[in-house]
Structure 1
């Protein structure tokens, strides 16, 4: 990865990568709003551009912060640190692993290799998989970004935290009861070497860069979809989803899987869909960090396809149920 994004020694030229392109596009979009409005003086386009820029500007600081924290954890926090604090009893270790996600922030892309490292260092798979689901969903960056995206709705923040935490812990307990080690690919069970010395900074830079490119691309995609939904989809459609709450929940759950947004930025996309009730948007926020298309691909590549084909569908069902349960408990019913 490093050889594809850095100039060769002695070349004397700085190569432009997708990170720089992404930053330039966002800056141009922000600074050129007035010019774009004058050139494309169409009400629908103005509305869509406003939604797109608003989502990107609000979410980008949290995305960058989350990526930096994720890179720091990958480089400077050895997996043995978490292994030492986990109880020997698997069911108790699941609870501790879930709560540890509050302290160890990271996006869902980074949590997969961390979980693999934990398993490779002897941590029970149930605890490692619980951490995989909890870390990107209940960490402080996600909590703060959700509070900023939904001002005046503390119940939304609490419901997301509880729904995501229980999703992770229930999946860990289900693995204890029915999970089989042979579902996990042998390569994921091998012990990985610890990162030492100057290599830590290299891992930090490369992990942060890769996560920013991937998560930033999905953020732009999510902002575009939000803008398109606000402009192209008639308002009465959202009213129908609001009236048929079960349909609205299912649609938002599937949308979370398809969009594959980063957990540090998805709250702003959900907040932009203000025509929908809070409950379907909460399910969107609980399902997204637990399972989406990119996570399925990462899990299949890291732990093997037999694992992903079993783990992903169950995670989806559990996340939907936990999101609905948390919403009914903390949002005062269906609203």
Structure 2
């Protein structure tokens, strides 16, 4: 037997499997450490500032997580049960006309901004134009029935806040969609967000649904936690007296409430009850708070960076912030 024959007849040497550490293993280790040292941790963290920060962090995550789960379930359902051809047939062929249709379609999704991010990404992966998906992303958290009902309940003494919020939020979504149609570039969005879903004819639709929902939940949940950390830090580091002093003037009140909406990162189903409690401010700054919050806040920017890339978030969030303020002011002039 020749050397060549020996080489051909020998079995390939198998490389040992490499140990991979995933987020699941890290979470398990953190939980075990927390259980072992729980008495020491409770004593070390027993401070008023840390208690406040932890309360805010838990509140943000607890408010948002159910709707995030709802969003990823819808995302999985779109991937598994809705063919791309059906989505394209439902929307007008011209992007400029499809943008307002997508904005109005946000009424059908009762969820917050956390839920809309994975749904918008899935729409892009199904071949929907990015401008149309982004319009839906901005409209869904602010114009759905749950948000409007909660606003009506909170502002019983100012019923015009409901149509003002609806028009301001819908205008923000449509204007941003049109701006992306005119100036947006596909290169600003991460390739993974635009990559078409593979053909899975041989795979069960329920398997596709479960895999897609699990993947989106794990990815989006981490960025939600990051946004909650930023919101908690702001609440304990910035004195409330500073905000009250700035809010005494209308122009500064509008800017302060817009920034406050960004950093507080409240769920759109709950922000109306926070806004109505700020009785020292006129209705217009509080309307800005309600329109800006669901469109751009720290956890939403973090979620967008994770779903569409940091390059996208760095461009989309500042423009959305300006457009949301302008839209809220326009709606406030008409209705308030």
TM score, norm. by length of structure 1 = 0.70
Alignment equivalent of 1:298, drawn from 303, 315, 318? 303
- Give, in angstroms, the shift of residue 4 of structure 1: 5.9
- Partner-residue secondary structure (3-state), 1:151: coil
Partner of 1:271: 276
Give the Cα–Cα distance (whole angstroms) in 2 for the partners of residues 188 and 72 of structure 1.
Answer: 17
Structure 2 counterpart of 1:114? 119
- 1:197 corresponds in structure 2 to 206
- Superposed CA RMSD in Å reads 3.9
- Partner secondary structure for residue 92 of structure 2: coil
1:262 is displaced (CA, Å) by 1.9
**Structure 1 SS opposite 2:280:** coil
Greater shift, 86-95 or 194-203, is seen at: 194-203
**Once the 2 structures are TM-superposed, how far is the Cα of residue 173 of structure 1 from its aligned partner?**
0.6
Alpha-carbon distance in 1 for matches of 2:225, 2:324: 24
> 2:23 and 2:236 mapped to 1: Cα distance?
35
Corresponding pairs, count: 289
Q: In 2 relative to 1, CA 276–222 (structure 1 residues): closer, same or farther, beyond 3 Å?
A: farther
CA contact (8 A) 2:231 2:298 kept: no
Correspondence 1:242-261 to 2 at 5 A:
242=248, 244-261=249-266
Work out whether residues 72 and 119 of structure 2, in 8 Å CA contact, stay in contact via their aligned partners in 1. no
Seen in structure 2, the aligned counterparts of structure 1 residues 3 and 225 have a Cα distance that, compared at 3 Å, is: closer
> TM-score scaled by structure 2?
0.70
Per-residue deviation at 1:215?
A: 6.8
Q: 1:301, 1:183 → 2: CA distance?
A: 13
C-alpha spacing 1:219/1:158, structure 2 compared with 1 (3 Å) = farther
1:110 shift after superposition: 2.6
1:213 Cα deviation after fit: 9.6
Pick the aligned partner of 1:241 from 237, 240, 247: 247
The more displaced of 292-301 and 88-97 is: 292-301
What's the offset of the Cα at 1:329? 1.1
The 1:6–1:233 alpha-carbon spacing in structure 2 relative to 1, beyond 3 Å, is closer
2:149 paired with 1:144: yes
Q: 1:302 offset after TM fit, Å?
A: 2.3
Deviation of 1:187 (Å): 2.0
Q: CA deviation at 1:113?
A: 2.1
Partner Cα distance (2:187, 2:320) in 1: 19
**Match for residue 166 of structure 2 among 161, 171, 175:** 161
> Is 2:186 the counterpart of 1:186?
no
- Residues 98, 134 of structure 1: 8 Å contact kept: yes
Q: 2: distance between equivalents of 1:251 and 1:261?
A: 15
Equivalences for 1:40-51 in 2 at 5 Å?
none
CA shift, 1:234, in A, is 5.2
For the 8 Å contact 1:60–1:265, the answer to whether it is kept is no
Shift of 1:251: 0.5
* 2:231/2:264 contact within 8 Å kept: yes
- In 2, the alpha carbon distance for the partners of 1:118 and 1:178 equals 20
* Structure 1 spans left out of the alignment, 5+ residues: 8-14, 19-44
CA distance in structure 2 between the aligned counterparts of 1:201 and 1:295, rounded to whole angstroms: 24
